[in-house]
């Protein structure tokens, strides 16, 4: 899958400078690895990559839900990204992420992303 075929919300966020081309490339790679991956998983994966690029170790899902502005997501270009998770509770987000083969737990594994409680990491 190319970045051009990703959901509009990710492409709009990238066009506004909220996501880097690398963040989109990760989302596209994940969508190719697991066809049918929901937009919320792609969005959170891209944001995890974006946070890593800013020197953060992970994406804190609780903080993201409580204060999107802390992530620069309080602008109209981020409306689509926020919409992908705004209707889900934190336990609902964790449950949805846990259903994906591209997201594993903190134990050693091959998944590219790790969900540990409310924290989403890129696997090292």
Each residue's pLDDT tens digit, 18-67:
999 999 999 999 999 999 999 999 999 999 999 999 999 999 999 999 99
Q: Note if the pTM is more than 0.75.
A: yes
Q: What does the angle CA 3 – CA 8 – CA 6 come to, to the nearest 5 degrees? A: 30
| CA nearest to 79, candidates 5, 4, 10 | 10
**Closest to 18 measured CA to CA, from 28, 26, 10:** 10
Q: How far apart are CA 109 and CA 50, in angstroms?
A: 22
Residue ranges per structural domain of the chain? 3-122
Fold of 3-122: Arc Repressor Mutant, subunit A (1.10.10)
Q: What digits encode the pLDDT tens for the residues 88-104?
A: 899 999 999 999 999 99
């Amino acid at each position: 899958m190319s970045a051009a075929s990703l959901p509009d919300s990710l492409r709009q966020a990238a066009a506004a400078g909220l996501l880097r081309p690398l963040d989109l490339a990760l989302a596209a790679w994940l969508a190719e690895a697991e066809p049918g991956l929901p937009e919320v998983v792609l969005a959170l994966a891209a944001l995890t990559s974006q946070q890593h690029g800013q020197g953060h170790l992970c994406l804190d899902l609780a903080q993201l839900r409580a204060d999107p502005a802390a992530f620069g997501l309080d602008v109209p270009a981020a409306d689509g990204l926020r919409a992908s998770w705004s209707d889900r509770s934190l336990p609902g987000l964790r449950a949805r992420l846990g259903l994906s083969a591209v997201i594993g737990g903190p134990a050693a594994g091959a998944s590219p992303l790790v969900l540990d409680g409310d924290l989403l990491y890129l696997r090292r």
